[in-house]
Amino acid sequence: MSRRLRVNPIACEGHGLCAELLPELIRLDDWGYPIIEPTEVAPELLGLARRAVDACPTLALLIEEIPTRDG
């Protein structure tokens, strides 16, 4: 299973909280909306990623689980 962060851009209001909590994977564009690293979330960052997901006030940040061939 590989895990990636994803934003629902319709729900996101550009609060930028996520980028503060997880600068390793999220930066903001010139208008304050998050740009997510397209790489998978490294295991050591998973805890922080979950915290950012929980902190998003509009529930716009998601962790997507992508099945890989070896499960």
Partner 1 sequence: MTGTLAGHPGLPRLLAGLDQSGRTMSQSEHERIHGALPHLSAHELIDAVQASGLRGRGGADFPTAVKLRALAARRRVSAVVVNGSETEPASAKDRLLLSRLPHLVLDGAMLAAEAVGAREVIVKLNERAASSLHAVAGALPLRQRDPVPVRLIAAPDGYVTGEETAVMHFLNGGAPIPTFVPPRPFERGYQGRPTLVQNAETLAQLALVARFGPRWFRELGTVADPGSALVTISGAVADPGVYELAFGTPMTDLLAAAGGATEPLRALLVGGYFGTWVDSASALGLRLAREDLRSVGCQLGSGVLIALGESACGLHESARVASYLAEQSAGQCGPCVHGLRAVADSLEALADGGAHPRERDRVLRWAGEIRGRGACHHPDGAVRFVESAIEVFGGEIEWHRHNHCTARPAGLPIPASASASASASASAFRSAASEAKR
Q: State yes or no: residue 14 binds ligand SF4 (CB under 6 A).
A: yes
Residue 17's binding partner among ligand SF4, partner 1, none (Cβ under 5 to 8 angstroms by kind) is ligand SF4
Nearer of residues 38 and 47 to partner 1, judged by Cβ: 38
d(CA 40, CA 18): 16
Q: State yes or no: residue 5 binds ligand SF4 (CB under 6 A).
A: no
d(CA 20, CA 14): 12
H helices within the chain, ranges in order? 17-21, 46-55
Site residues, partner 1 (CB under 8 A)? 7-14, 29-33, 35
